[in-house]
Amino acid sequence: MNIVVMGAQWGDEGKGKIVDYLAADAGIAVRFSGGANAGHTIVIGGERYALHLVPSGILYPDKTVVLGTGMVIDPEALFAELEGLAERGVDWRGRVLISDRAHIVLPSYRRRDKEMEAARRRPIGTTGRGIGVAYALKASRDGVRLADLGDEERLANLEPEDAAFAREWRARLEPMAVDLVAYLRAHRNAYVLFEGAQGALLDIDTGSYPFVSSGMSCAAGAAAQGGIGPRRIDRVLGVFKAYTTRVGNGPFPTEFADDSPGSLSQYIRETGNEYGVTTGRPRRCGYLDLVALRYAAVTNSIDRLVLTHLDVYDELDEFEACVAYRIRGRLVEDFPSSVRDLEDAEPVLRRFTGWKRSIAAARAYEELPREARDYIAFIEEYVETPVSMVSVGSDRAQTIVRESPWTRS
């Protein structure tokens, strides 16, 4: 059975936590997109792990994890992460595989990423990890895949610094290489989780272009770039927060205008610990954007939603969510393609009553306050998609499952 777990907003929705939770019942976890731009956090009994390249199934001793074809992999960052895990007692040897079709991030890419940002009149706010350069070279057919590292003719085309780096790392990478298509065919009866990075609105095709990342963070990416065909995806879970965050630049219709001390924006940032895992940047905050969420659900065939960070609203008397945009006087319910339209979009907000008590200890849906369930019911109706899981805190245990995604319907 193949389940995709992807972000349904602008990243950092809690994908790592959800993949870790669901991986208890999986055999294999495959990360299908992105690179060291991602930061996926898992908290188990107060122990916090921040993963960037390694799939979020790694913390169970018996799972195999695979870095998929759609990823762009910086070997230095990967081995630093693996060594960090080993120091904390996570034995990863023999169970971290890398698709031999995945692309390698070379040292000059990071430099060029920063140079390109500096030259942009409107910078994207990239993470500076060489991600855009790696995907651009992949598309222009000048990239280097894991399978190419032994090909001296291929390396001869590279800048000397990059070629030396490729030769330096290949001996450590090659034993981990796998033909992902053949591997998943051989394990066709396994329970496989496909872990996305970034989110629907940072996807190169369906996101808020050009303020996006460069990979396929859409559900379709799990197929082409995860090693299976599109019809083998059994379920797509879209993870979203009770509100919205965004790091980096670009339009954000529901962003709070007031970010001064004591504002709701700062309250949510502090309560939700909304600081980037990879860059430490404060995340921009705003109300839930249902126009964007429904767009994400449709473009990705999301069949179940996973709501996270509901606990962050525990102390609010009331809050709002965006149900339409007003763009230069026009009422719009479809997520616009044009950045200018998105920038001009004023959210039409609907008000909800808060529950004013802690839900951190809730473990069953019925334990959630009626106001919280009303909010969820409204989201389900608007997006026309059931919310099958609710997260009420960062810890693995703080998870409510209404319907297990592993159950075939």
Instruction: State which residue, 103 or 283, has the beta carbon closest to ligand GDP.
Output: 283
User: 7, 35, 39, 75: which one contacts Mg ion (CB under 5 A)?
Assistant: 39
Does 132 help bind ligand IMO (rule: CB under 6 A)?
yes
Q: Which residues pair with 96 in a beta bridge?
A: 65
What secondary structure, in 3-state letters, does 7-64 show? ECCCCCCCHHHHHHHHHHHCCEEEECCECCCCCEEEEECCEEEEECCCCCCCCCCCCE
Q: Which of 20, 40, 103, 162 is flagged as catalytic?
A: 40
131 binds, among ligand GDP, ligand IMO, Mg ion, none (CB under 5 to 8 A by kind): ligand IMO
Nearest distance in Å: CB 222, Mg ion: 18
User: 80, 116, 190, 277: which one contacts ligand GDP (CB under 6 A)?
Assistant: 277
Nearest Cα neighbor of 131 from 75, 72, 79 is 72
Pairing of strands 318-327, 330-332: antiparallel
**Sheet containing 2-7: order of strands:** 177-178, 96-99, 64-67, 28-31, 192-195, 2-7, 235-241, 304-308, 387-391, 399-401
User: 69, 208, 213, 399: which one contacts ligand IMO (CB under 6 A)?
Assistant: 213
Q: How far apart are CA 318 and CA 391, in angstroms?
A: 20
- 113 a catalytic residue: no
Instruction: State which residue, 1 or 306, has the beta carbon closest to ligand IMO.
Output: 306
- Judged by CB under 6 A, which stretch of 33-41, 290-298, 348-356, 367-375 contacts ligand IMO? 33-41
- 309 a catalytic residue: no
- Judged by CB under 6 A, which stretch of 10-18, 118-126, 215-223, 351-359 contacts ligand GDP? 10-18
User: 7, 132, 251, 286: which one contacts ligand GDP (CB under 6 A)?
Assistant: 7
309 binds, among ligand IMO, Mg ion, ligand GDP, none (CB under 5 to 8 A by kind): ligand GDP
Does 12 help bind Mg ion (rule: CB under 5 A)?
yes
Q: How far apart are CA 203 and CA 337, in angstroms?
A: 13
The first and second tokens of residue 391, run together, are 């997260």
Does 390 help bind ligand IMO (rule: CB under 6 A)?
no
- Judged by CB under 6 A, which stretch of 118-126, 153-161, 271-279, 348-356 contacts ligand GDP? 271-279
- Judged by CB under 6 A, which stretch of 148-156, 172-180, 215-223, 389-397 contacts ligand GDP? 389-397
Nearest Cα neighbor of 208 from 297, 340, 72, 38 is 340
Q: Which residues pair with 64 in a beta bridge?
A: 28
Does 100 help bind ligand GDP (rule: CB under 6 A)?
no
**Side chain identity at residue 255, one-letter code:** E
Nearest distance in Å: CB 406, ligand IMO: 23
Subset of residues 167 to 206 that bind ligand IMO, contact rule: CB under 6 A: 197-199, 202
Nearest distance in Å: CB 215, Mg ion: 14
Q: How far apart are CA 409 and CA 342, in angstroms?
A: 37
Nearest distance in Å: CB 267, ligand GDP: 13
Does 71 help bind ligand GDP (rule: CB under 6 A)?
no
Nearest distance in Å: CB 298, ligand IMO: 20
- Judged by CB under 6 A, which stretch of 128-136, 153-161, 234-242, 259-267 contacts ligand IMO? 128-136
Q: How far apart are CA 169 and CA 131, in angstroms?
A: 19
Does 68 help bind ligand IMO (rule: CB under 6 A)?
no
Q: How far apart are CA 202 and CA 185, in angstroms?
A: 30
Subset of residues 307 to 326 that bind ligand GDP, contact rule: CB under 6 A: 308-309, 311-312
User: 30, 38, 312, 372: which one contacts ligand IMO (CB under 6 A)?
Assistant: 38
Give contact residues for Mg ion (rule: CB under 5 A): 12, 39, 277
Catalytic machinery residues: 12, 40
Give contact residues for ligand IMO (rule: CB under 6 A): 7, 11-12, 34, 37-40, 124-127, 129, 131-132, 197-199, 202, 213-214, 247-248
